[in-house]
Chains A and B, each alone.
Chain A
Amino acid sequence: MTAAAEALRQPTSAQPGSLRANLRLFWLGGLISYRALFNWARPSIYIPTLIGAPTFQILFFAALGSYATGIDAEFFAIGNAVQVSAMSGIYGMTMAIANERWFGTLHALLATPASRWAIFGGRFIPFIANGLLVSVYGFAISWIFLGVELRAEALGVVALGLLATVFSCSAIGAVQGGLSMRLRDGLFGANLLVFLFLLFCGVNIPLEVLPGWMQAVSQVLPFTHGLQAVRAAVDGAGLDQVGGLIAIEFGIGAFYAVLAFGLFSFLERSARQNATLDVR
């Protein structure tokens, strides 16, 4: 039995609704939901999907980008090393929310008086950690095969930029998860989002090359500002230079997180009123 499951078995003296109970729900609920609802958590799926596919995505775009534009492969390697965190942030968060309905546990979850903030917020943590892990792996691959170098003094700012990006990506993934509670195929939107990030957010195409309307759209999407910050930090920019970009990325993430929570609450109310909680 794992530590998380063992901890859940222990009786708790915390009053339902108290801060302690909510923190417990936030932390343990997040861990348990990751294990129960993330279909890709087992090694036989995790390794090909979250380790293998990102490796080849980075190599593919480095080859295509440097061939087509003549720009150094480093540009594409960094962009994709950051973007691969979407595998966890988008697909993971979609599964972590929408699978409650598909696995038939949603009604039991919503029947509890537990804080929705604690239930919902706790789900972010494992996927943010997972996204960071995938991106760090992406940087390692970029270093090994494409010669991308990170100086020691840049690591802190790069890590902060990466954290902001992974958070905002997970937040929009939570919005998608909320929508998926009503859709027949939630992963359709998740797939589409992941591909659109590749096109809109400066992952592969320098933003100035995109038409004006696409640049405008990119400003409200995750990745755009965080990725700019990470690129600048890799080139030696300090926190004073990229702090604004990181703050915007966190802000975008916070906006999507609040939107996702609002959507989740709305759908819960609507499903109760219309008796459509388990309708598929």
Chain B
Amino acid sequence: MDGLRRNARLVWRVWVFTMRSFLASEFFILTAILQPVIFASIAFFLFQAGGDAAGEHTLLWAALGTGMMGVWSTTLFGCGGAIQWHRWEGTLELLVAAPSRYDMVLLGQTLGASTFGFYSIVATIAWGMVLFGMPLNADFPLLLPVALAVAILSLGCLGMLLATSFVLYRHANALSNLLEYPIWIVTGMIVPLAVLPGWLGPISWVLSPTWAMEAIRGSAIGSEPPWLAMVLCVALAVVYYLIARRVLRFVLDKARRDATLALA
């Protein structure tokens, strides 16, 4: 029980630290707030020009979609470089050598990144309401906070998997640059999967942003409660975490054996 409390406290502390450090970063303000607002504007203009292709909820559809795109970008950049930054700052050895579990440190960091990303959704909704007169009403308002929570959890765990995978690649930021648009496409964040090629479907099923988007959109403008999407978010989060933990153990063991822990 003590161990559980200690780990929860560790995750919480790192989560708070990550949120605060991102707030002081111009790059993450851009990624989480300015970039989604710009993409939301592009989407609003495009949907308006096309006569509201997504139906009566077009503006909210676009605001949630572009907001979620921002969440993904923040998670991607925040988690992709998580271990690399510790290397650059010379703190990785200290964290790995500490008696606290490093996977909990990383989990706090990646949950912090995905939580910070949710400023994007706030920003795009506010932008849509103020400048485009978007009405704000959720079909299942009580489910919306739950949907946001499972989305943060699932993206945080996916981020942890990314962080551990990217550590094998020296230029993690370049991979982050590469993975931004494809995930926006393949998870149907702004363009429904139904209008994309069918072979993208199975890829989207194993990516938690698909279900996170489905859960949030379902709570806001869905015809029925998005229970399935929420359950899948949690299930994928568990799978990602278990894989990430295993990969992390392998990577850290290898780095310690080869004496390459600090080598970027």
Contacts and interface: CB of A to CB of B under 8 A. Distances in A.
Do A and B actually bind?
A: yes
Interface of A: 40, 42, 44-45, 47-49, 52-53, 56-57, 59-60, 63-65, 67-71, 184-185, 187-188, 191-192, 195-196, 198-199, 204-206, 209-210
B171 A67 contact: no
A71 B50 CA distance: 8
A68 B46 contact: yes
B47 A196 contact: no
A64 B190 contact: yes
Contacts of B139: none
Given A64-B191, A67-B195, A70-B50, 18 more contacts: A40-B174, A47-B174, A48-B174, A48-B175, A53-B180, A53-B181, A56-B178, A60-B184, A63-B196, A68-B49, A69-B53, A70-B51, A184-B26, A185-B26, A191-B27, A198-B39, A204-B42, A205-B42
A119 to B, nearest CB: 28
A49 B38 contact: no
B181 A65 contact: no
Contacts of B35: 191, 195
B174 A44 contact: yes
Interface of B: 26-27, 30, 34-35, 38-39, 41-43, 45-51, 53-54, 169-171, 173-175, 177-178, 180-182, 184-185, 190-192, 195-196
A198 B178 contact: no
A187 B27 contact: yes
11 contacts: A42-B171, A45-B171, A45-B173, A49-B174, A49-B178, A53-B178, A64-B46, A67-B191, A69-B50, A199-B38, A199-B41
Contacts of A184: 26
A64 to B, nearest CB: 5
A30 B181 CA distance: 32
A contact face: mostly helix, strand, loop, or mixed: helix
Nearest to A56: B181
Given A56-B181, A56-B182, A206-B49, A188 B170 contact: no
A40 B35 CA distance: 22
A160 B177 CA distance: 29
Contact of A210 (B45, B53, B181): B45
Given A44-B170, A188-B26, A195 B38 contact: yes
Given A45-B171, A45-B174, A63 B185 contact: yes
B41 to A, nearest CB: 6
Nearest to A42: B171
Nearest to B58: A68
A60 B185 contact: yes
B49 A205 contact: yes
Nearest to B197: A63
